[in-house]
Structure 1
Amino acid sequence: MTDVREPTAVAHRETAVAEAAARLTRAAHDRRPCAPVRELLGATDIGLAYAVQRRVVGGRIAAGARVVGRKIGLTSASVQRQVGVDRPDFGVLLDDMDVSALPAVPGHRLLQPRVEAEIAFVLAADLDDDDLDVERVRSAVGHAVAALEIVDSRVADWDIAITDTIADNASSGLFVLGRQRVAPGEFTPRDVTMRLYADGELASEGDGAACLGDPLAALLWLARTAREFGDPLRAGQVVLSGALGPLVPTPPGVTVRAELSGLGSVTATFASEDPEAPQAPQAPQAPEELEEHG
């Protein structure tokens, strides 16, 4: 008698991946947050969640988007404990997520946005070596800039577990890069201090040590993980290395400005929502109770 249990299990997993990806894609398109996809994937199957992420991102690439980098999330130990994991996660940055050149952050492309300040590394060399360490990843950095990551969630009320955020492209939304480029030898990432203002009022502050102890440690983790996934980091890609402080709400019309010591500042104004504007798929954000996503 043929044992059909294994093929049946595989088919079940494939169905779960397809249904979860469709749920997230539909939520983005319709601009209506959805139920958690952990209902389909379980709350702890990280491999299955990344399979959903690949399918969601693959759909956007098929529609014309281009990969420009990665983002690292869950770099705060306190947030890892709240979500129940002991490691960061990552998502994919696409060219249509970069709104640095726009006069305002388009509200119609977001569902439940919040903003956090980060160090963005722009790579000058591939990181596909077998033996990666902090010095190797540091040497691969062409320059760094101050950055704002606008995290967002397709899951209603930020009701997420680890599988929800990974599947939803690590709660990615949009990002804004500062203009001041700083060479890696001109600053020490873990010593960077950050202050983020909303309409001129201090709303968040932190430092590089909040990001896995050192943003370069976060970059090393990502480089190793991306290589293990068979898709190593490449020259020219942008890496958002993780939050330096707590998330800040972004109501329509608010202007946020982050100041990072040694890296200058980066500013973004959030436009009022325009119901007539074209829609674009988005990614998830962190739960309301989380202090930081990155």
Structure 2
Amino acid sequence: MTAPIEAAAARLATAASTATPCPPVREFLGTIDAAYAVQRRLRDQRVEAGARVAGAKIGLTAPSVQRQFGVYQPDFGVLFDDMLYAHTEPVPYRRFLQPRAEGEIAFVLGRDLDVPGASVADVLRATEFVLPAIEIVDSRIGAWDLSIVDTVADNASSGAVVLGCTPFSLTGRDLAATGMTLELDGEPVSFGAGHACLGSPVAAVAWLARELAAREQPLRAGDVVMSGALGPMVPVTGAGRFRLRLDGLGEVDAVIEEEIQ
């Protein structure tokens, strides 16, 4: 399996370094496990180059997003420190190839989540606070021509994350009932709610914790966890301001700029 994994990793790495979308990598990969091996290879290369793992992201949780790509199971990827931006901090458009935006809830962990078979109760105990967050997803695969192994190998189509700056406790809060509106330059472009994310973002994070523990990559205290889209993703075509409004959880702005001033 080494040669196909190296070939897929090299294709994706070249696409990222040259900012040129590449053909799908599914021709090299027959299983999801092989795709995660590619993801780990690319993660290790980033870490060797000086990047720091800052958490994890869940992809393909919302039925609307699954229908957009014809992929009907969730996946996960790695968050690196250089992917994280704060509310209103300029995000350079040039760092992306073919970006799309989606509204999410980010979990910040106060404890390790490394127990086998983690439950929603374990997630609730481990979460220090949550934040409104906009994920800018991206794909190195040309025209978003994805199968599940393509997106897994490509770090779950990761791009960047913009985090709100006001933390919220989960105590007494029903995230499944949390409504979401995503606006672009003041116009609503996507609607959703927490129940679209595997029934609840808490359930999504429990799924992720189990998957990562089984692969000996457990979530740790301090990790940022993007719990998955609450509604359809929308294209990012250039400079603009995305604003996510979450019922009871504030709002966050992602400011996309052609150039950083």
Give TM-score, length-normalised by structure 2.
Answer: 0.95
Answer whether contact 1:253 1:269 (CA < 8 A) is retained. yes
SS in 1 for 2:227: strand
How far did 1:236 drift?
0.4
Whether the 8 Å CA contact 2:88–2:255 is kept in 1: the answer is no
Aligned with 1:169: secondary structure? Answer: coil
Say yes or no: does 1:117 pair with 2:103.
Answer: yes
Equivalent residue letter for 2:13 = T
The aligned runs of 1:1-294 (5 Å cut-off) are 13-42=1-30, 45-77=31-63, 79-80=65-66, 86-100=72-86, 103-272=89-258
Equivalent-residue separation in structure 1 for 2:190 and 2:65 (angstroms):
16
The alignment's C-alpha RMSD in Å is 1.7
The change in CA–CA distance for 1:131 and 1:47 in structure 2 (over 3 A counts) is closer
CA distance, structure 2, for counterparts of residue 63 and residue 36 of structure 1: 25
Q: 1:161 and 1:72, CA in 2 relative to 1: closer, same or farther beyond 3 A?
A: same
Letter of the 2:212 counterpart: A
| Superimposed CA distance per residue, residues 9-53 of structure 1 (whole angstroms, 9 cap, x where no aligned partner) | xxxx210100100100100000000000012214xx100000000
Are the counterparts in 1 of residues 64 and 231 from structure 2 also a CA contact under 8 Å?
no
Q: Deviations over 1:148-185 (max 9, x none)?
A: 00000000010111010000000000000001100110
- Over the matched positions of the two proteins, sequence identity in percent amounts to 52
Determine if contact 2:108/2:222 at 8 Å carries over to the other structure. yes
In 1, the alpha carbon distance for the partners of 2:172 and 2:237 equals 35
What is the TM-score of this pair, normalised by structure 1?
0.85
How far is 1:65 from its partner? 0.3
Distance 1:268 1:81, change over 3 A: closer
Considering fraction of residues, name the structure with more strand. Answer: 2
Residue-pair matches, total: 261
